Amino acid sequence: MKVLVVGGGGREHALVWKLQQSPQVEQVFCAPGNPGMKGVVPVPVDGLGELADFAEREGIALTMVGPEAPLCAGLVDVFRARGLRIVGPDKRAAQLEGSKAFAKDFMRRHGLPTAASGVFTACEPALDYLRQQGAPIVVKADGLAAGKGVIVAMTLEEAEAAVRDCFSGRFGEAGARVLIEECLFGEEASILALTDGRTIVPLASSQDHKRLGDGDTGPNTGGMGAYSPAPVVTDALWATIRREVLDRFLAGCQADGLDFRGVIYAGIMVTDTGPKVLEFNVRFGDPETQAVLMRLDSDLAEALAATADGRLGDVQLAWSEDPAVCVVMASGGYPEHYEKGLPITGIEAAEATGAVVFHAGTKLAAGKLVNNGGRVLGVTARGTDLRAALDRAYRAVNCISWPGAYYRRDIAHRALARG
Ligand code: AMP
Ligand code: GLY
């Protein structure tokens, strides 16, 4: 079959890479894709009708959506209305990521463990609530804000400034509603699962590194690296997450009549009183996917087709015991200002070490590969143990250079510290 992946970052490159390994797949296209892959289609992710036109014209048997924006805009609805097979929640179900208030309400009604919170549509009541609750406290813009709409405020002043920012339009429409949430403490883990609305099949656990600097310091980013599995998720914790998060998620979708045939990602905080859901994403994580897919022994195309068709009950996923890590190489200055168009060298040498280099913010300029975004490459490797995977990934990273290239040197430090 022919497959289309929608998106153009590191996550989508990893999806393309894995789908190409399927004996059922004759060709993989990616819109808009990136220079790391073949089969790029110059259609942007917000070209909903154009994407469906392409899928029809090319006889695409299965479409997989990477990012949240087209899901929240209703890409799945457009495809299904035209009889095209696609993996992802429909527009209504995508609100589980598109609106934090919608997600909270869902979790509360269906008994999923999560932080206590209030939802506000005006500044003054929000400020009153803040003063009642005190700091530390978390302020979240309701809508999609490209990962920037969450402020973990250590002081009341910071929290008040965040609330005022939201209501003064800093996040546009996304901040017209604001959630104020109890601050949770613990270690985070990313739990991804496939669901077809009848069955839910967890993927391997993972953890990402949101902060820019070593030791989890500095500003938040889109993710500076990831590893799988996440040893914080012990067998006992898995059992609890399965029961209290994944099973209740599925039952909630069924009770609410949400059409969710796709990937659900629960960001979990492992607290002293058990796992709590920090957020839902309605898609694969980036860069978790790069590490997780490197451990998947099963046929991804078959699993995704089963997800779209409601046949997941027949699917069993097989995973390699070997851990995998992804080290993100970013432009110097990211997540603030950075220079673009700088020539990148050493990718072939990096891949000769056995690592896979997934492209994200790259571009071809006059035939040369240059940086074109904040997160540029995801250097990903597997090893017989975590240390071996890290050695392989960092050896590959050391082959690659461009002026100002930056990466964290401590990916998976929490897992290493557990021994
Ligand atoms: P979210 O987009 O909701 O996952 O928030 C992004 C990040 O903010 C999470 O990965 C956490 O590190 C942090 N965060 C979100 N909610 C909370 C909370 N209630 N308590 C502490 N940290 C949080
Ligand atoms: N790695 C976090 C995310 O994909 O949202």
Q: Is 288 in the pocket of ligand 2 (CB under 6 A)?
A: yes
Q: Give residue-wise pLDDT tens across range 64-104.
A: 999 999 999 999 999 999 999 999 999 999 999 999 999 99
Q: Rounded mean pLDDT of 335-353?
A: 97
**CATH 3.30.470.20 residue ranges in the chain?**
187-314
Q: Is 267 in the pocket of ligand 1 (CB under 6 A)?
A: yes
Q: Is the pLDDT of residue 297 over 80?
A: yes
Mutate to test the pocket of ligand 2, among 12, 286, 408 (most ligand atoms within 8 A of CB): 286
The pTM assigned to this predicted structure is: 0.96
The residue written with tokens 């069993």 in the block is: 316
User: Class for domain 324-417, per CATH?
Assistant: alpha beta
What's the CA gap between 386 and 318, in Å, rounded?
Answer: 19
Q: Give residue-wise pLDDT tens across range 110-123.
A: 999 999 999 999 89
Q: Is 337 helix (H, G, I), strand (E, B) or coil?
A: coil
**Average per-residue pLDDT for the chain:** 96
| % of residues, the chain, pLDDT over 70 | 99
Helix (H) or strand (E) holding 166: helix 156-167
Determine the length of the chain. Answer: 419
Amino acid at 379: V
C-alpha separations of 366 from 42, 125, 341, 363 in Å: 18, 55, 11, 10
The residue written with tokens 């009708």 in the block is: 49
Question: In terms of Cα–Cα distance, which of 16, 84, 42 is closest to 300?
Answer: 16
Residue 169: per-residue pLDDT: 78
Give, using CA atoms, the residue closest to atom 3 of ligand 2.
285
In this structure, what are the phi and psi dihedrals at residue 157, rounded to the nearest 5 degrees?
Answer: -60, -45
Which CATH architecture best describes the domain 187-314? Answer: 2-Layer Sandwich (3.30)
C-alpha separations of 89 from 94, 255, 308, 371 in Å: 6, 16, 10, 32
Tell me, in angstroms, the distance from the centre of ligand 1 to residue 418's CA: 23
Tell me, in angstroms, the distance from the centre of ligand 1 to residue 220's CA: 11
If pLDDT is split at 50, 70 and 90, which confidence band does 366 have? very high
Question: In terms of Cα–Cα distance, which of 300, 321, 317 is closest to 229?
Answer: 321
What's the CA gap between 34 and 5, in Å, rounded?
Answer: 11
Q: Is the pLDDT of residue 269 over 80?
A: yes
Tell me, in angstroms, the distance from the centre of ligand 2 to residue 397's CA: 22
User: Class for domain 2-90, per CATH?
Assistant: alpha beta
Q: Is the pLDDT of residue 243 over 90?
A: yes
Q: Is 279 in the pocket of ligand 1 (CB under 6 A)?
A: yes
Q: Rounded mean pLDDT of 215-238?
A: 95
Q: In this structure, which ligand is nearest to the CA of 265?
A: 2
What's the CA gap between 195 and 308, in Å, rounded?
Answer: 9
Q: Rounded mean pLDDT of 336-359?
A: 97
Mutate to test the pocket of ligand 2, among 188, 211, 265 (most ligand atoms within 8 A of CB): 265
| Residue 394 CA neighbour count, 13 Å, CB half | 12
Q: Is the pLDDT of residue 173 over 80?
A: no
Q: Is 188 in the pocket of ligand 2 (CB under 6 A)?
A: no
Q: Rounded mean pLDDT of 168-193?
A: 89
Q: Rounded mean pLDDT of 399-407?
A: 98
Tell me, in angstroms, the distance from the centre of ligand 1 to residue 140's CA: 9
Mutate to test the pocket of ligand 1, among 68, 99, 100, 138 (most ligand atoms within 8 A of CB): 138
Q: Is 210 in the pocket of ligand 1 (CB under 6 A)?
A: yes
Instruction: Indicate which atom in ligand 2 lies nearest the CA of residue 226.
Output: 1
Q: Give residue-wise pLDDT tens across range 147-166.
A: 678 899 999 999 999 999 88
Tell me, in angstroms, the distance from the centre of ligand 1 to residue 150's CA: 7
What's the CA gap between 216 and 408, in Å, rounded?
Answer: 9
Measured distance between the N- and C-terminal CA atoms of the chain, rounded to whole angstroms: 44
Mutate to test the pocket of ligand 2, among 11, 71, 264, 281 (most ligand atoms within 8 A of CB): 281
Give, using CA atoms, the residue closest to atom 15 of ligand 1.
278
Q: For residue 297, what are its two tokens?
A: 């022994």
Tell me, in angstroms, the distance from the centre of ligand 2 to residue 57's CA: 32
Residue 15's Cβ-count burial label (10 Å; 0-12, 13-18, 19+) is buried
Q: Rounded mean pLDDT of 174-189?
A: 91
If pLDDT is split at 50, 70 and 90, which confidence band does 172 have? confident
Q: Is 135 in the pocket of ligand 1 (CB under 6 A)?
A: no
**CATH 3.40.50.20 residue ranges in the chain?**
2-90
Helix (H) or strand (E) holding 281: strand 274-281
Q: What is the DSSP letter of 243?
A: I
Residue 326: per-residue pLDDT: 98
| Residue 398 CA neighbour count, 13 Å, CB half | 8
Give, using CA atoms, the residue closest to atom 4 of ligand 2.
285
If pLDDT is split at 50, 70 and 90, which confidence band does 146 have? confident
Q: Is 184 in the pocket of ligand 1 (CB under 6 A)?
A: yes
Q: Is 285 in the pocket of ligand 2 (CB under 6 A)?
A: yes
What's the CA gap between 26 and 187, in Å, rounded?
Answer: 41
Q: Write down the CATH number for the domain with range 122-176.
A: 3.30.1490.20
**CATH 3.90.600.10 residue ranges in the chain?**
324-417
What's the CA gap between 312 and 260, in Å, rounded?
Answer: 13
Q: Is the pLDDT of residue 54 over 90?
A: yes
Q: Is 7 in the pocket of ligand 2 (CB under 6 A)?
A: no
Question: In terms of Cα–Cα distance, which of 25, 9, 57, 81 is closest to 304?
Answer: 25
Residue 257: per-residue pLDDT: 97
